[in-house]
Amino acid sequence: MRDCHREIAKWLTAAGAEVTVDAAGNLRGFYAAAQSVAPRLLIGSHLDTIPNAGVYDGVLGVAIAVALLEALEGRRLPFGIEVVGFSEEEGVRFGTPFIGSRALVGSLDEELLNRQDANGVAVRTVIERFGLNPAEIPRAALADDTLAYLEFHIEQGPILESLGLPLGVVEAIAAQTRLEFAFLGRANHAGTTPMHLRHDAVAAAAEWIIAVERTAQSHPGLLATVGQIEAEPGAANVIAREARVTLDLRHESDDICGRAADMLIRLAEEIAERRGLTLRRRVLLSQRRVAMDPYLVDQIGEAIRKIGCEPHRMVSGAGHDAMILAEIVPAAMIFLRSPGGISHDPAESVEVADVAKALECGLQLLDQLASSSELQKRMCRA
What span, in angstroms and rounded, lies between the C-alpha atoms of 248 and 98?
A: 16
Q: Residue 95 has what pLDDT?
A: 84
Q: Residue 382 has what pLDDT?
A: 55
Average pLDDT over residues 123-138: 97
CATH number of 175-287: 3.30.70.360
Q: Residue 20 has what pLDDT?
A: 98
Residue 140: is its pLDDT beyond 70?
Answer: yes
Q: 177 with 249: CB under 8 angstroms?
A: yes
In the chain, the amino acid numbered 45 is S
In the chain, the amino acid numbered 97 is P
Q: Residue 96 has what pLDDT?
A: 85
Q: Residue 98 has what pLDDT?
A: 94
Average pLDDT over residues 115-126: 96
Q: 163 with 156: CB under 8 angstroms?
A: no
Q: Residue 376 has what pLDDT?
A: 66
Intervals of CATH 3.30.70.360 along the chain: 175-287
DSSP code string of 200-263: -HHHHHHHHHHHHHHHHHTSTT-EEE---EEEES--TTEE-SEEEEEEEEEES-HHHHHHHHHH
DSSP code string of 273-306: HHTT-EEEEEEEEEE--EEPPHHHHHHHHHHHHH
Residue 381: is its pLDDT beyond 70?
Answer: no
Q: Where are the beta strands (DSSP E) in 32-161?
A: 40-46, 80-86, 146-154
Give the pLDDT band of residue 378 (cuts 50, 70, 90): low
pTM score: 0.84
What span, in angstroms and rounded, lies between the C-alpha atoms of 9 and 286?
A: 34
Q: Residue 284 has what pLDDT?
A: 87
Q: Residue 287 has what pLDDT?
A: 84
Q: Residue 132 has what pLDDT?
A: 98
End-to-end CA distance of the chain: 33
- pLDDT over 90 for what percent of the chain? 94
Residue 196: CB partners within 8 Å, gap ≥ 6? none
Distance of CA 234 to the CA centre of its chain: 32
What would the pLDDT profile of 200-259 be if each residue is shown by its tens digit? 999 999 999 999 999 999 999 999 999 999 999 999 999 999 999 999 999 999 999 999
Q: Does domain 2-174+289-381 have CATH number 3.40.190.10?
A: no
Residue 380: is its pLDDT beyond 90?
Answer: no
Average pLDDT over residues 84-105: 94
Distance of CA 96 to the CA centre of its chain: 10
What would the pLDDT profile of 31-83 be if each residue is shown by its tens digit? 999 999 999 999 999 999 999 999 999 999 999 999 999 999 999 999 999 99
199: left (phi over 0), alpha (psi -120 to 50) or beta: beta
Give the pLDDT band of residue 22 (cuts 50, 70, 90): very high
3-state SS class at 129: helix
Q: Residue 256 has what pLDDT?
A: 95
Q: Residue 289 has what pLDDT?
A: 94
Average pLDDT over residues 347-363: 97
What would the pLDDT profile of 315-334 be if each residue is shown by its tens digit? 999 989 999 999 999 999 99
User: Which DSSP symbol is given to 284?
Assistant: E
Give the pLDDT band of residue 125 (cuts 50, 70, 90): very high
Give the pLDDT band of residue 374 (cuts 50, 70, 90): confident
Q: What does residue 198 show for φ and ψ, rounded to 5 degrees? A: -90, 150
Q: Residue 285 has what pLDDT?
A: 85
Intervals of CATH 3.40.630.10 along the chain: 2-174+289-381
233 cis-preceded (ω within 30 degrees of 0): yes
